[in-house]
């Protein structure tokens, strides 16, 4: 889980510039083999451009060896112990192979993996062809990291049997007695994707089954059938993967030994990364999903071409894709990524989609592609009403930017607009919500910090063996000079930490949240590899996201590992789970440098009294006590890795969990009594965009239940009162 979590943060801190060494390449990369060229290129860049390069030696080789199998077979259900033993001869040779552009280790492991996966298809079908006996007293240990590889096919099949029985047990129970089922609380970190997936932390999962209860025999057969279908879908996805997809995994196993945020993007993945950073792309504005051989629309993106056209809907299946009247291409059975390449295209071009509608009719629908903005990626604001007072809240999911054109929409300019709108709405205090914000562009965070101070240093950045460079806000204007609160949690990372740290060092605002933020104090540059090769005949070679610098607070301390410690510490559901940089593999260390020259905020703020009052309220809050109790329960459940496969034991544990779930459901019943409203400009959009309206209504309902936002409002009130008292005192003095 810790390894995958490096990818769970949506976006890490990315510098806009390229490394200077790329303009002084003096090496000729001589090979016609693209795989070997990539290996040579990547290691060359790593050794010369990484902030803290590592020796590629035997220790490095061992880390790659162990890491590659952890990536390929984390639950140890493919390879046999004999395979690993056979591969052991390469354990101390990978470093030499890297230096010699030799990919023998990858080739041998890859071929064996394909063979073992084909065998696994036979195994799971064999296992699921026979009924499970849920009366047997047996258990499974789901701590796969500590599990040894199976010594024989018989042992491997038994492992599959237990894993599949475990996967099927909950479904079996729900079909016997349909009702709300509370599963064991779990923290599930989704499989990594190059553009980065957000962390999914489920306090509990509920399932409602309204079907008529089945007999034990019927429930057992149907639950096995469901599991079979799930596995079929999974292996359909696996079958779509090509050799290059697995080779990218190998390359990333190598680069991750340097640090958890250095990452190789294959060409398609670089495009996805750019989309996630900018929050927009050119296409039709629909999210697609492949199931079996079908490519279906699973979401229509608000404001996009499909949304405006109104002829396509969720559930429609795309059969063929044509380009502006040309002969269409059949995409049935095609890899989803390949199908998307045909569907996406430049703004203004036309794509002809042959579609099987939900009602079964087949039609051809022509859509003119356009720029599609992912609204959920952007800053959004709400007006908060409490008694006769008004406050503002800005939620920022990430520090987005368009690398191609910075003048286009970016986080700094959007937040500035929202601040201005909230001022016009009469806001007396401002909350900037950076919870779950994984970072983004360095340039945008510097500009954004400048909205709240007159001028001065924001962050210090140091490259290898160089003096730190101070990045300043040079604009003397202050867009918001009123009370300010920053909300953070354990998943606030990178650029979020820069902003929170700067506001804390200036004593400009009060940071409320987790004991510390994520702790990512490094800067990455994205380097297109084709820029390094002269006479490249292989086309797009992808890019390397490379750690090239560390950043430091203006007080001199690094946020690396330690993060930003909140002024007011409050527990949340992540409190007892290992999520931070310190829990990653191969993180860089903490250090400090001399502080920059800066003057704390000169406003009339009784900082210490305000923090003390907030901490006192939080200590007395029954809601906070309940949240902390829930967090401890989640942690306890995660530490219990042995699970019974006996149905009676399962039902007993299920009932216990259900009672705990009912108890903790009070968390979501909380009512802060605050009122949240959209600003006038957004209310005008609702008349044309019902989807946006629905999203905002749902967001506001969640905010009403948010005790952290409630406390942020209390702090804003205190800041306002203390400021007024201090002003009066200074006048009388």
Based on the fold, state whether residues 386 and 454 are members of the same structural domain. Answer: yes
Based on the fold, state whether residues 242 and 380 are members of the same structural domain. Answer: no
CA gap 349, 478 in Å, rounded: 43
Based on the fold, state whether residues 357 and 442 are members of the same structural domain. Answer: no
Is the pLDDT higher at 65 or at 637?
A: 65
Quick check: is 354 in a domain? yes
3-state secondary structure of 524: strand
Helices and strands, counts by H and E, the chain: 21, 26
* Structure confidence at residue 692 (pLDDT): 86
Based on the fold, state whether residues 354 and 419 are members of the same structural domain. Answer: no
Quick check: is 76 in a domain? yes
* Structure confidence at residue 197 (pLDDT): 29
Quick check: is 186 in a domain? no
Based on the fold, state whether residues 683 and 694 are members of the same structural domain. Answer: yes
Per-residue pLDDT band at 599 (split at 50, 70, 90) = very high
Is the pLDDT higher at 493 or at 289?
A: 493
**81-90, 96-105, 638-647, range with the lowest pLDDT:** 638-647
* Structure confidence at residue 10 (pLDDT): 36
Based on the fold, state whether residues 366 and 380 are members of the same structural domain. Answer: no
Yes or no: say if 614 and 568 are a contact pair by the CB < 8 Å rule. yes
CA gap 479, 417 in Å, rounded: 10
CA gap 10, 85 in Å, rounded: 37
Per-residue pLDDT band at 537 (split at 50, 70, 90) = confident
Helix (H) or strand (E) segment spanning residue 647: helix 647-664
Which residue, among 443, 359, 427, 351, has the nearest Cα to 394 in the 3D structure?
427
* CA contacts within 13 A on the Cβ side of 712: 32
Asked which of 341, 373, 405 is the last residue of a domain, the reply is 373
* Structure confidence at residue 342 (pLDDT): 87
Would the pLDDT of 366 be above 60? yes
**Domain extent at residue 451:** 376-527+553-732
The Cα-based distances of 107 to 318, 339, 429 in angstroms read 36, 28, 60
CA gap 715, 704 in Å, rounded: 17
Task: State mean pLDDT over 387-396.
Answer: 96
Asked which of 319, 354, 373 is the last residue of a domain, the reply is 373
Yes or no: say if 588 and 558 are a contact pair by the CB < 8 Å rule. no
Based on the fold, state whether residues 364 and 395 are members of the same structural domain. Answer: no
CA gap 400, 409 in Å, rounded: 8
Q: What is the 3-state secondary structure (H, E, C) of 132-155?
A: CCCCCCCEEECCHHHCCCECCHHH
The Cα-based distances of 139 to 155, 165, 643 in angstroms read 15, 10, 5
* Structure confidence at residue 280 (pLDDT): 76
CATH of residue 347? 2.30.42.10
Based on the fold, state whether residues 239 and 287 are members of the same structural domain. Answer: no
Handedness of CA 550, 555, 560, 565 (dihedral sign): negative
Would you state the structure tokens that stand for residue 667, as one six-digit string? 């968390």
Would you state the structure tokens that stand for residue 348, as one six-digit string? 């203004």
Quick check: is 270 in a domain? no
Quick check: is 141 in a domain? yes
Q: Which DSSP string corresponds to 48-115?
A: HHSSS----SHHHHHHHHHHHHHHH-TT--S-BHHHHHHHGGGTTTHHHHHHTT--HHHHHHHHHHHH
Quick check: is 407 in a domain? yes
| Predicted confidence (pLDDT) per residue in 264-303, tens digit | 999 877 777 776 766 778 889 888 888 767 888 988 887 7
| Predicted confidence (pLDDT) per residue in 546-581, tens digit | 999 999 999 999 999 999 999 999 999 889 988 899
Based on the fold, state whether residues 463 and 593 are members of the same structural domain. Answer: yes
Would the pLDDT of 516 be above 70? yes
Per-residue pLDDT band at 333 (split at 50, 70, 90) = confident
* Structure confidence at residue 336 (pLDDT): 82
CA gap 698, 694 in Å, rounded: 6
Average pLDDT, the chain: 87
Would you state the structure tokens that stand for residue 227, as one six-digit string? 């599991």
* Structure confidence at residue 690 (pLDDT): 82
The total of structural domains in the chain comes to: 3
Asked which of 373, 397, 426 is the last residue of a domain, the reply is 373
Based on the fold, state whether residues 433 and 495 are members of the same structural domain. Answer: yes
Based on the fold, state whether residues 484 and 449 are members of the same structural domain. Answer: yes
CATH of residue 451? 3.90.226.10
Would the pLDDT of 604 be above 80? no
Quick check: is 38 in a domain? no
**100-114, 189-203, 525-539, 629-643, range with the lowest pLDDT:** 189-203
Based on the fold, state whether residues 331 and 400 are members of the same structural domain. Answer: no
Per-residue pLDDT band at 205 (split at 50, 70, 90) = very low
What is the percentage of the chain residues whose pLDDT exceeds 90? 61
Would the pLDDT of 182 be above 90? no
What separation, in Å, do the N-terminal and C-terminal C-alpha atoms of the chain show?
59
Quick check: is 427 in a domain? yes
């Amino acid at each position: 889980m810790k390894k995958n979590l490096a990818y769970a943060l949506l976006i890490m801190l990315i510098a806009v510039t390229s490394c200077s060494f790329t303009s002084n390449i003096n090496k000729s990369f001589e090979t016609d083999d693209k795989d070997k060229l990539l290996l040579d290129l990547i290691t060359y860049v790593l050794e010369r451009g990484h902030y803290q390069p590592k020796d590629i030696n035997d220790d490095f080789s061992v880390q790659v060896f162990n890491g590659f199998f952890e990536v390929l077979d984390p639950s140890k259900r493919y390879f046999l112990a004999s395979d690993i033993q056979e591969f052991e001869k390469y354990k101390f040779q990978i470093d030499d192979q890297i230096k010699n552009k030799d990919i023998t280790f990858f080739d041998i492991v890859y071929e064996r993996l394909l063979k073992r996966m084909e065998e696994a298809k036979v195994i799971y079908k064999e296992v699921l062809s026979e009924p499970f006996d849920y009366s047997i007293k047996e258990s499974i240990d789901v701590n796969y990291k500590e599990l040894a590889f199976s010594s024989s096919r018989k042992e491997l099949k038994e492992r599959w049997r237990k894993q599949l029985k475990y996967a099927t047990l909950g479904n079996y129970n729900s079909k016997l007695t349909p009702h709300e089922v509370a599963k064991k609380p779990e923290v599930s970190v989704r499989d990594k994707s190059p553009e980065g997936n957000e962390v999914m932390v489920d306090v509990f999962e509920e399932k409602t089954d309204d079907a008529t209860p089945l007999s034990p025999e019927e429930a057992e057969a149907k639950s096995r059938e469901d599991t079979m279908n799930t596995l079929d879908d999974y292996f359909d996805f696996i079958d779509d993967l090509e050799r290059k997809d697995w080779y990218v995994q190998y390359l990333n196993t190598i680069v991750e030994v340097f640090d958890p945020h250095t990452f190789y993007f294959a060409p398609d993945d670089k495009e996805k990364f750019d989309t996630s950073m900018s929050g927009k792309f050119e296409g039709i504005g629909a999210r697609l999903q492949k199931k079996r051989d079908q490519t279906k629309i699973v979401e229509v993106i608000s404001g996009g071409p499909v949304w405006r056209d109104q002829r396509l809907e969720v559930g429609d299946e795309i059969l063929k894709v044509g380009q502006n009247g040309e002969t269409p291409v059949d995409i049935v059975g095609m890899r989803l990524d390949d199908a998307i390449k045909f569907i996406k295209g430049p703004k203004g071009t036309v794509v002809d989609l042959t579609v099987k509608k939900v009602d079964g009719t087949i039609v051809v629908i022509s859509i003119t592609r356009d720029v599609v903005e992912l609204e959920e990626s952007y800053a959004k604001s709400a007006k908060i009403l409490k008694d006769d007072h008004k406050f503002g809240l800005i939620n920022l999911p990430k520090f987005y930017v368009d690398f191609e054109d910075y003048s286009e929409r970016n986080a700094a300019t959007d937040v500035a607009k929202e601040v201005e709108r909230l001022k016009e709405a009469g806001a007396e205090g401002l909350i900037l919500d950076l919870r779950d914000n994984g970072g983004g562009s360095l340039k945008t965070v510097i500009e954004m910090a400048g909205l709240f101070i007159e001028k001065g240093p924001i962050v210090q950045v140091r490259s290898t063996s160089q003096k730190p460079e101070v990045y300043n806000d040079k604009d003397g204007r202050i867009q918001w000079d009123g009370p300010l609160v920053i909300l953070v949690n354990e998943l606030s990372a990178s650029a979020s930490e820069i902003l929170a740290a700067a506001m804390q060092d200036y004593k400009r605002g009060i940071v409320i949240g987790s004991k510390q933020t994520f702790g990512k104090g490094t800067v990455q540059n994205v380097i297109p590899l084709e820029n390094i090769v002269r006479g490249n005949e292989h086309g797009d070679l992808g890019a390397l996201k490379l750690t090239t610098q560390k950043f430091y607070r203006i007080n001199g301390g690094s946020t690396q590992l330690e993060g930003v410690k909140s002024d007011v510490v409050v527990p949340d559901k992540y409190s007892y789970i290992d999520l931070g940089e310190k829990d990653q593999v191969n993180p860089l260390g903490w250090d400090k440098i001399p502080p920059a020259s800066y003057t704390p905020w000169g406003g009339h703020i009784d900082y210490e009294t305000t923090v003390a009052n907030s901490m006192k309220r939080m200590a007395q809050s029954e809601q906070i006590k309940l949240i902390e109790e829930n967090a401890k329960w989640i942690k306890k459940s995660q530490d219990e890795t042995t699970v019974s496969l006996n149905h009676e034991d399962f039902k007993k544990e299920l009932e216990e969990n259900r009672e705990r779930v009912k108890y903790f459901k009070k968390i979501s019943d909380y009512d802060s009594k605050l009122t949240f409203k959209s600003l006038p400009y957004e209310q005008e959009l609702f008349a044309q965009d019902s989807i946006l309206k629905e999203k905002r209504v749902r967001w506001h309902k969640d905010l009403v239940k948010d005790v952290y936002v409630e406390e942020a409002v209390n702090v804003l009130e205190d800041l306002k009162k203390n400021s007024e008292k201090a002003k009066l005192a200074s006048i009388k003095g």
